[in-house]
Amino acid sequence: MTVRKKPGPGRPRSVASEEGHHHRDIAAAARTRLSGLTLSRVAARARASKSTIYRRWPTKEHLIVAAFNRWPVLIPHDSGDVLEDLMDLHAQSMRNLRRGELKGVMPKLVAARAEAPALAEVLDPLIERRYDPVRVILRRAIERGQLPRNTDVELGVHMIMDITASRLYFAPSDASGPAIRQVFRVVLKGLGARGY
């Protein structure tokens, strides 16, 4: 436990945890206006100082990762049909994307990650967690009998997430509802689902 036994002299860090109001403010400030993001600007907007930011996050990119983690998590609903559940997830993504200037953050993060292995260690678990809703949906499909008992869930999850991510962030592809539905249908069928 990192409990301070004795406060000692001097001003203590303002609620020294990531949940502290100050740090929350900073990450929030970073979340808006990702393009042309500058640490000085973030500091100014959060009424913090650059020292404070660098005391908490070793690089600008780490701060962006923190900001990225504030993205709302997708909620897996249960409509009784895999395809519809996946489409619902995609709709949630699209809604998140539209609001806020978070559009370009994923490419930026991925680029930073590519040449800073240290960043990968922080970023990858967060990304991995984003896969969970799809996991839930696919597992439910198995229980429901829409997918075979022995379906490789991880394979399916990654395929769906990879394609979705590509279409949303990276490639100049069609990310509209109908196009994505087609993709999901092929994946489900390839996984052995009946009726697609």
* Structure tokens given for 119: 């960043």
Residue 99 C-beta: closest distance to DNA, Å: 24
Contact partner, 91, from a copy of itself, DNA, none, Cβ < 5-8 Å per class:
none
- 161 touches a copy of itself by CB under 8 A: yes
- 105 touches DNA by CB under 7 A: no
Residue 10 C-beta: closest distance to DNA, Å: 2
* Structure tokens given for 76: 């897996």
Q: 57-96 mask for DNA (x: CB under 7 A)?
A: --xx------------------------------------
Say if CB 18 and CB 66 are below 8 A apart.
yes
Site for DNA in 3-42 (CB under 7 A): 6-14, 16, 22-23, 36-40
DSSP-assigned states of every residue in 1-30: ----S---SSPPPTT-STTSHHHHHHHHHH
Contact partner, 7, from DNA, a copy of itself, none, Cβ < 5-8 Å per class:
DNA
Q: Report the C-alpha gap between 87 and 82 in whole angstroms.
A: 9
Residue reference for tokens 């930026």: 108
Say if CB 137 and CB 85 are below 8 A apart.
yes
Q: Report the C-alpha gap between 103 and 34 in whole angstroms.
A: 8
Using the rule CB under 8 A, which residue among 79, 124, 177, 194 binds a copy of itself?
124
Interface residues toward DNA, by CB under 7 A:
6-14, 16, 22-23, 36-40, 43-44, 47-52, 54-56, 59-60
